[in-house]
Copies of this chain bind each other. A is one copy, B any other.
Amino acid sequence: MAKNITTRAEDYSKWYNELVIKADLAENSGVRGCMVIKPYGFAIWERMQAELDRMFKETGHQNAYFPLFIPKSYFSKEASHVDGFAKECAVVTHYRLKNAEDGSGIVVDPDAKLEEELIVRPTSETIIWDTYRKWIQSYRDLPLLINQWANVVRWEMRTRLFLRTAEFLWQEGHTAHATKNEAIAEAEQMMNIYAEFSENYLAIPVLKGTKTESERFAGALETYCIEALMQDGKALQAGTSHFLGQNFAKAFDVKFAAKDGKLDYVWATSWGVSTRLMGALIMTHSDDNGLVLPPNLAPDQVVIVPIYRKEEEFEKVNEVALELVKKLRSNGIRVKYDNRDTHKPGWKFNEYELKGVPVRIAIGPKDVEKGTVEMARRDTLTKEFVSNENAVSKVLSLMEEIQANLYTKASSYRSEHTTEVASYEEFKEVLEGKGGFILAHWDGTPETEERIKNETKATIRCIPLEGDNTPGSCIITGKPSERKVVFAKAY
């Protein structure tokens, strides 16, 4: 087979970039830091959206849409929020272009300066809470459970396709509650939904936990997260859910009358996942031959390639193939039948391997004679002959097997790359060795966290909500530690 891409062992980062391009997922655009999501990549994102959207709606959330622009003054109302986002935002200052008077082309019209600058939303808490003030008067209006699918912009200096781009697509949930406990329960529920989605659809095992103070969302009292581990031993934050307390309600004066008539500020959460999940999906399962997709998210779960030389061969093969396409579709399988005569079978095999289609079926004249088809699994790169009559049931069972196998492989990798360490020496040794998640005692101070980050580039990914919670002593200061926390280098 023709070599498509740099191998992971050669250069993991290069492998990722080449894979994203060659599997037709996305590419860089002419606009600094902004990507083009190509049809194949977008089809995967659409499947993610559909499943998440269903899960949100099943838990009582509704979609709505809020403005792209945020007036500068809104931004300043929540102090830590503005600190978090002001340094990297796109600012609209004018509303017109005109022809330059010297004929040098088209220029910004200085007469069309906005009275107040508008920020392209990096996240929508401020514009949404400005709106919630009008929507919430009494406990009867609560809880308010809203989600938005949108594009957002953060002016990142170093960008990478899907992982870190100036513009990205995401969903942002923004909910309002009458009590602190309800809001905390909502934030936890959404973290759990993200984890469920990640495990059942992306086939990515995740750690659930909370962020340290220094890693929290700007304006949150608590940030819940799910953390995944990539094949190069680096962690990737796959979703966050924030308990915002009454910070935004106070900043935007959103009060409600309780049943007893007393006025109080509303309690808030926000939560989001983005096209970054595409990066996590790619890096978790793919191999040196290209993308590997879990069947639950693959735009095409099966591709059928006819093999023939002469026209009469094609007719026989085509008949069997079309019959199989029909049967598979009626069983809910997403099938692509690639009968193009502009490309050879070998080229197609290579193409669908690169694009991670879970099952490839080849049918040639000999197969037709024998009443069999050849089935190839993308995850294991194994092939077998299956009788025509068993083809549908085999595909159906393969869908489950492949989905489960990808999850199991990723879990095994994670187990092998999760290490508990007792000293800073050991910590550094593991970090520079196999990498992965490192569980270590930490004294709970930002100073120690900062020191470790500066010296090793490892950050605290989360304080886990599950697993061993025995107290101990910090690997740096020896001071008391409530439980081991999870360190890693991260995307």
Contact = CB atoms under 8 A, between A and B. Distances in A.
Contacts of A95: 88-91, 155
A36 B67 contact: yes
A106 interface: yes
Contact of A70 (B31, B36, B82, B131): B31
A120 B92 contact: yes
Nearest to A90: B92
Contacts of A69: 31, 34, 90, 167
Contact of A118 (B31, B43, B146): B31
Interface stretch (A72-80, A202-210, A462-470): A72-80
A29 B132 CA distance: 11
A91 B109 CA distance: 10
A478 interface: no
A118 B117 CA distance: 15
A132 to B, nearest CB: 10
B119 A120 contact: no
A37 interface: yes
Interface stretch (A58-66, A290-298, A314-322, A402-410): A58-66
A118 B90 contact: yes
Question: Chain A's interface: helix, strand, loop or mixed, by majority?
Answer: mixed
Given A31-B127, A90-B118, A106-B82, A155 B36 contact: no
A29 B131 contact: yes
Interface string A86-130: 111111111111100000011010000000011110000001001
A342 interface: yes
A64 B92 contact: no
A169 interface: yes
Size bin of chain A's contact surface: 35 or more
Contacts of A37: 64-65
Copies of this protein in the assembly total 2
A38 interface: yes
Contact of A62 (B39, B63, B88): B39
A266 interface: no
B134 A27 contact: yes
Interface string A119-154: 110000001001100100000100000100011010
A57 to B, nearest CB: 10
A63 B46 contact: yes
A458 B108 CA distance: 33
Contacts of A117: 108
A261 interface: no
Contacts of A72: 97, 106
B127 A105 contact: no
A91 B86 contact: no
A88 B117 CA distance: 16
A332 interface: no
Interface string A45-64: 11000000000000000111
B67 A106 contact: no
A71 interface: yes
B31 A71 contact: yes
A35 interface: yes
Interface of A: 27, 29-31, 34-39, 42-43, 45-46, 62-72, 74-76, 82, 86-98, 105-106, 108, 117-120, 127, 130-131, 134, 140, 146, 150-151, 153, 155, 167, 169, 342
Lowest 4 A-B CB distances belong to which pairs? A34-B67, A39-B62, A86-B97, A37-B65
